[in-house]
Amino acid sequence: MTTQLYTHPSCLGHDPGPMHPERPERLGAVMAALEMEEFNGLARREAPRVEREQLLRVHPAEHVDFVLTSVPEVGNAALDADTFISPGSGEAALRAAGALCAAADAVIAREAGNAFCAVRPPGHHAEPSRPMGFCLFNNVAVGALHLREAHGLKRIAVMDFDVHHGNGTQAAFWDDADLFFASTHQMPLYPGSGAAHERGVADNILNVPLPPGAGSREFRAAMTESVLPALKAFKPEFLLVSAGFDAHADDPLASLALREEDYGWATAELASLANEVCDGRLVSTLEGGYDLGALGRSAAAHVRALMQA
């Protein structure tokens, strides 16, 4: 089965402004890396707009309306101290969330073995009622609840290896025993959540914080000893991955020391687990990653592993 790649030119139109780390060039670096000959086999798809009702499964109407009506006609507008939007941000956010739903549909229909959503703005910091941390809508949570509503799945898991804790996904999943969220991340670091004692309503949250300076050994141990066994025990019907690449040693916003080989390894392990427990059904989505070279190489390693799964 092929790996599908979902993206849209509108995702380049979200421009938080000069010097902002979540800049359009991030997606450009990912797409350039995926133009190498080895990725000719990727089935490339255009991300559709998310439907309002799909957003409303995660976000109340007040949140959706606040984000979309805050989009400026010119210049930038601030939603919080870190989260800025531009005239193209609304369309980009709708396409980013829509990519997850479309990719999930394709994998369920066996049109794809798995999929990667190369989209922005990212999503895992967006809480149900609050945009934050560069994120407007929680793309991966929207995808998870779409799987439940559109396809009748019950048990859905998200694994998040972004260097920052996915507080928004945790908040969306906290009270639902059939939604599982696992995260490796640096701690202490923004947004300040993600301690090991944060476990959810039914031990459906697993946080494995890593100290500043941790690298391949610590990350792979966290995956092997904690994350992968917990995911296997949960037995999800579908696995979603928040693929942030900012734990890379070259990234300027944090202090972990992963390399692109670690992302390839982790992706292969997650895909193998998906093959074992949920018929290989896996969709990943781009979250962070702010050194353009490291981001491109890491995304390539991630997609390479998906294609080899």
Which sequence positions are flagged as catalytic?
125
Specify the DSSP class assigned to residue 50: P
Contact status, residue 305 vs residue 271, Cβ threshold 8 Å: yes
Both structure tokens of 252: 């300027």
Task: Write out the H or E segment, with its range, that includes residue 271.
Answer: helix 260-277
Q: What backbone phi and psi angles, to 5 degrees, belong to 130?
A: -150, 120
Q: What backbone phi and psi angles, to 5 degrees, belong to 270?
A: -65, -40
Question: Strand pairing of 84-85 and 238-243?
Answer: unpaired
Both structure tokens of 78: 């601030």
Helix, coil or strand: residue 7: strand
* Helices and strands: H and E segment counts in the chain: 10, 10
Closest CA relative to residue 139, chosen from 112, 163, 117, 162: 117
Contact status, residue 144 vs residue 240, Cβ threshold 8 Å: yes
For residues 199 and 206, give the distance between their C-alpha atoms in angstroms, rounded to a whole number. 6
Helices 292-308 & 24-33, crossing angle to 10 degrees?
50
